Amino acid sequence: MDRIYKNKFNEEHFFVNVFGTPRWDDPCIKDVKATLRDKKGVLDGPKNLTKNREFHLYKYKSSNILIDELFVKIKYKCNDEDKALKKKIPQSCIQNKEGKEMSIKTSDKVTVYFDTELFNCNLGDIRLKPVDKQNISKTKMQ
């Protein structure tokens, strides 16, 4: 079922703000970069990330960009091996307790209204590990 997102002004066009804080303990982790992407490619970034410092990625969402196709890709090196972590939007977003969402279902789609001007996606703490078989895969660094 398709999902359509609208802001407090009933608009499908708005800014998407994705943010989080990368954390890691292993000193081998370096060259950490984040991009906001969809299936067509990079929408914002790459941004160099610093351990324990919040980062932000922004994109103006027009009608041809679907929030459900957005994701953040974090690439890094550990012992000269390329690693990547993917966080899907909006599934990886921590719900803001102050913001409200209201969903209205029709036969072929769900319209999600949120009570702010922006779509804020808080990824929270993003833990980078030297090896995590579920979330990290080898990739070519671009």
pLDDT tens digits along 8-40:
888 888 899 999 999 999 999 999 999 999 999
- Inform me whether the pLDDT recorded for 68 exceeds 80: yes
3-state secondary structure the chain: CEEEEECCCCCCCEEEEEEEEEECCCCCEEEEEEEEEECCEEEEEEEECCCCCCEEEEEEECCCCCHHHCEEEEEEEECCEEEEEEEECCCCCECCCCCCEEEEECCCEEEEEECCCCEEEEEEEEECCCCCCCCEECCCCC
Boundaries of every domain in the chain: 12-95+119-137
Any idea what DSSP says for residue 49? -
Any idea what DSSP says for residue 12? S
Where are the alpha helices (H) located in the chain, listed in sequence order?
none
Q: Which amino acid is at 50?
A: T
What's the pLDDT at 137?
44
pTM here? 0.79
Under 8 Å between Cβ of 24 and 128: yes
pLDDT tens digits along 85-128:
999 988 888 765 444 555 565 667 788 877 788 888 999 999 99
Quick one: pLDDT band at residue 5, thresholds 50, 70, 90? Answer: confident
pLDDT tens digits along 34-65:
999 999 999 999 999 999 999 999 999 887 78
What's the pLDDT at 98?
44
Under 8 Å between Cβ of 18 and 121: yes
Q: 12-95+119-137 is classed in which CATH architecture?
A: Sandwich (2.60)
What's the pLDDT at 110?
80
What's the pLDDT at 138?
44
Quick one: pLDDT band at residue 140, thresholds 50, 70, 90? Answer: very low
Q: Which two tokens stand for residue 132?
A: 């995590």
